[in-house]
């Protein structure tokens, strides 16, 4: 969070978005990061260690790390026009974009509606 602040002030919208995002990950069935947090908790470790282990698992490129890949992908575009052009090519070729979509949800991830409200 500290790295995402401006002028040493934390944007309350950013805090809320990160909070909701972590809740959605934690409440999302029995995924890798949830499993890891539960394993850590089963050792009677403290709360912070449980969250840290879950976030560490979430960082992997096949789990939550896909979001980071999506951000890197989007940063390459210098303008809206360039993004539109490149994305239309990708969609036309029916290629996948890392960080968008879900292996389980073919008709949209139900968590999207919640995070979009933020």
Task: Write out pLDDT tens, residues 52-62.
Answer: 998 898 888 77
Q: What is the pLDDT of residue 1?
A: 52
pTM: 0.51
Q: Over the stretch 87-107, which tens digit does the pLDDT of each residue have?
A: 999 989 988 776 666 777 778
Q: Over the stretch 20-58, which tens digit does the pLDDT of each residue have?
A: 887 887 777 778 888 999 999 999 999 999 999 988 988
Number of H helices, E strands in the chain: 6, 0
CA 37/CA 46 separation, integer angstroms: 11
- All residues at 6 or more sequence positions from 40 whose CB lies less than 8 Å from its CB, including other chains: 49, 50, 53, 54
Q: What is the pLDDT of residue 15?
A: 83
CA 54/CA 89 separation, integer angstroms: 36
Cα dist. 88→82, 91, 117 in Å?
10, 5, 26
SS3 77: coil
């Amino acid at each position: 969070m500290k790295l995402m602040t401006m002028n040493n002030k934390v944007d309350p919208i950013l805090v809320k978005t990160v909070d909701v995002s972590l809740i959605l990950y934690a409440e999302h069935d029995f995924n890798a990061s949830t499993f890891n947090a539960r394993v850590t908790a089963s050792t009677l470790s403290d709360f912070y260690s449980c969250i840290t282990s879950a976030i560490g698992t979430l960082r992997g490129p096949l789990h939550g790390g896909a979001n980071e890949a999506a951000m890197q992908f989007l940063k390459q575009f210098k303008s809206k026009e360039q993004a539109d052009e490149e994305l239309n090519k990708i969609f036309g070729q029916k290629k996948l974009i890392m960080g968008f979509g879900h292996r389980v949800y073919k008709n949209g991830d139900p968590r999207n509606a919640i995070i979009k409200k933020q």
